[in-house]
Structure 1
Amino acid sequence: MIKKATQKDIPTIQNLAKESWNSAYANILEQEQIDYMLGLMYSESTLQTHFENPNYQYYLIEEDEVFLGFIGFEFHSKPNTTKLHRIYFVKEAQGIGLGKKALEFVKTETENAGDKRLTLTVNKNNNAKSFYESQGFKIYDEAIFDIGNGYVMDDYLMEFNIAK
């Protein structure tokens, strides 16, 4: 089940982020960088700012009353574009079709918001790249983002065009 998150769900989002990141990035990033990025991207104040932005959406994915993942995306991040900022699942929830359902949900929400393009960034060493490609996303660029503290994100920029 995909359920709209509210500000009261911030601790749940933070816990899911910590659990999923520590598994997803363990072989890609140093633990210090994972901890730094979690602190930067999932602090109470950062998430609060997202919830105050009407274009920013968070949803929790749950099955049998257990939260297994979350998605965060932003309508109109650029003209006609929704940006998928976050889609993460705990390790035991991977490979059972929830990611595909979540992406289909985001694609539908993107179309309903009137945007024609869905974008995301994925670490060049993240196996999720193949998953996104299997769901119709294509690489349109690559970039290195300086995120402070001596760390960078070396990413592919991917897009999915919403068919009308």
Structure 2
Amino acid sequence: MKLIEATEKDIPLIQDLARRSWENAYVGIISNEQIEYMLSEMYSTKEISEHLQNPNYHYYLILDENNNSFEGFIGYEHGYEEGTTKLHRIYLVPESKGKGFGKGALDFLKSKVSESGDGRIILNVNKENSAKNFYESQGYRVYNELVLDIGRNFVMDDYQMELLIHK
């Protein structure tokens, strides 16, 4: 596994990986209409481009070196809060789950957070998403619950989780 920093030219790939992972991860949790709305808002070319122009926001593509295929991506932002990096996005295509890519990406994130000087990682996970169990297995813990109105009568019903980095 190798993580490769994404650039503007990778936006279509990020959009494709997001769609492939979301269509698997969120079916039965949120409606197809909400999936389409969130993908169009959160993964628009404009939105991702703005992230890539932010010096604190980073996207990395997850490459399976054995198959020379991209299996997912991670997007995070240093200094989201004082001393805190926010993991905004980590998605894997369905066929790559259970192969260690998620754990590898979170380990990579921990090292990047340590280098940045932040001492905490936070993330949101849908209350019905089984990824919560994965995060807990990696040392994250729930510290809050959040219902966020995202427009068009849709909400995100999430747990907020954190991992403290020991320096």
Q: If the length of structure 1 is used for normalisation, what is the TM-score?
A: 0.99
Runs of 4+ residues deviating >3 angstroms: none
2:130 to 114, 122, 127: 127
Paired with 2:63 and 2:101, the residues of 1 have a C-alpha distance of 9
Task: Please state whether the residue corresponding to 1:141 is helix, strand or coil.
Answer: strand
Match of 2:37 in 1: 36
Match of 1:72 in 2: 75
Task: Please state whether the residue corresponding to 1:115 is helix, strand or coil.
Answer: coil
Give the percent of matched residue pairs that are identical in Structure 1 and Structure 2: 53
Task: Please state whether the residue corresponding to 1:34 is helix, strand or coil.
Answer: helix
1:51-90 map, 5 Å: 51-63=52-64, 64-90=67-93
**Number of equivalenced pairs:** 164
Report the aligned-residue RMSD: 0.5
CA shift at 1:23, angstroms?
0.3
Amino acid at match of 2:73: F
1:146 to 128, 143, 149: 149
Paired with 1:97 and 1:106, the residues of 2 have a C-alpha distance of 14
Task: Please state whether the residue corresponding to 1:9 is helix, strand or coil.
Answer: helix
Paired with 1:127 and 1:163, the residues of 2 have a C-alpha distance of 26
Paired with 1:96 and 1:150, the residues of 2 have a C-alpha distance of 37
CA shift at 1:62, angstroms?
1.1
CA shift at 1:65, angstroms?
1.7
1:109 paired with 2:86, answer no
Which consecutive unaligned segments of at least 5 residues does structure 2 have?
none
Match of 2:161 in 1: 158
Q: If the length of structure 2 is used for normalisation, what is the TM-score?
A: 0.97
CA shift at 1:27, angstroms?
1.7
Q: Deviations over 1:28-79 (max 9, x none)?
A: 1110000000001000100010011000000000112211000000000010
CA shift at 1:160, angstroms?
0.1
Paired with 1:40 and 1:65, the residues of 2 have a C-alpha distance of 30
